[in-house]
Amino acid sequence: MIRFGFALFLTGMISGCAGLAPQVCAPGQQAMLSAELLFGRKIGDRVGVSEASFRQFVDAEVTIRFPDGLTVLDASGQYRDRQHGRLIREPSKLMLITTPDEPHSREKLAAVAEAYKRRFSQQSVGLILKPACASF
């Protein structure tokens, strides 16, 4: 029941956002989509995604979809393992991408997350999307 209630709340919040006024940016900036992707590097109980493997993934899956640029930061992540209820900590990567807010951009971001999950046997990849004003 709690999950259903939360899903109903979330649906209301998302549909409420659809009616917001268009974003107004400062001169010289344009409305964009800011994406944060959170990649865990453990496979099972060990770090299974090496620095070299992650770079290869970025080259093969991300750069081809977002050739205008991105930023990757080292991070430390944690989450609660749903099966065992224990806290898992792992080295992670935080990727920042700013892109036009178009359906195709969102599809490419989802494709990057799915490719990482497949390639490195991950349960999930965090994806946070926010409207932004940007200039480069």
pLDDT bucket at 3, cuts 50 / 70 / 90: very low
pLDDT confidence of residue 113: 98
Report residue 26 as tokens: 């400062």
pLDDT confidence of residue 9: 39
Judging by DSSP bridges, how do beta strands 42-43 and 30-40 pair with one another? unpaired
Taking only the tens place, the pLDDT of each residue in 40-94 is 999 888 889 999 999 999 999 999 999 999 999 999 999 888 888 989 899 999 9
pTM above 0.95, yes or no: no
> Could you tell me which CATH class the domain 30-131 is placed in?
alpha beta
CA distance 38 to 126: 5
pLDDT confidence of residue 20: 54
In the chain, where the domains are located: 30-131
pLDDT confidence of residue 44: 80
Q: What is the mean pLDDT of residues 83-110?
A: 95
Whole-Å CA distances, 136 to 7, 43, 80, 118: 37, 36, 38, 33
Taking only the tens place, the pLDDT of each residue in 110-129 is 999 999 999 999 989 999 99
